[in-house]
Amino acid sequence: MPHMTFVTPQGERITVEVPVGLSVLEIAHQNNIDLEGACEGSLACSTCHVIVDSEWYDTLPDAQEEEEDMLDLAFGLTHTSRLGCQIIMKEELDGLVVTLPPATRNMMSG
């Protein structure tokens, strides 16, 4: 089974086994990792924003326009930012590393 590593804003590395076919957001929730996902993966927020390690970024499929639009709203956007709900685990991503940003901006609350 593939593995991936989440890096917390405090620098803690959490490596978990991941079933193929789940999104990074779903994997985070299954492992009690603090990745919000307020819209539950419907591309209506940017709270599942993650920063993909640069060595993995080009391995991912390109972001679609809807994801790019939501990323524009993300706090702490970087050139390797993606939405966790849009990264679907597959065997080729075994070893993927993503960093959780220090904060999120939830446009859905309030």
Structure confidence by residue, pLDDT tens digits, 19-75 = 999 999 999 999 999 999 999 899 999 999 999 999 999 999 999 999 999 999 888
Instruction: Evaluate whether residue 83 is within a structural domain.
Output: yes
Residue 109 has pLDDT above 90, yes or no: no
**In a 10 Å sphere around its CB, with 0-12 CB exposed, 13-18 middle and 19+ buried, how is residue 91 labelled?**
exposed
| Sheet of 3-7, strand order | 13-17, 3-7, 96-99, 49-52, 81-83
Instruction: Evaluate whether residue 110 is within a structural domain.
Output: no
Q: Is the pTM of this model over 0.85?
A: yes
Instruction: Evaluate whether residue 105 is within a structural domain.
Output: no
Domain that holds residue 23: 3-99
Q: Structurally, how many domains does the chain consist of?
A: 1
Instruction: Evaluate whether residue 108 is within a structural domain.
Output: no
Instruction: Evaluate whether residue 11 is within a structural domain.
Output: yes
Encoded tokens for 25:
């957001």
Instruction: Evaluate whether residue 91 is within a structural domain.
Output: yes
CATH of the domain at 78: 3.10.20.30
Instruction: Evaluate whether residue 104 is within a structural domain.
Output: no
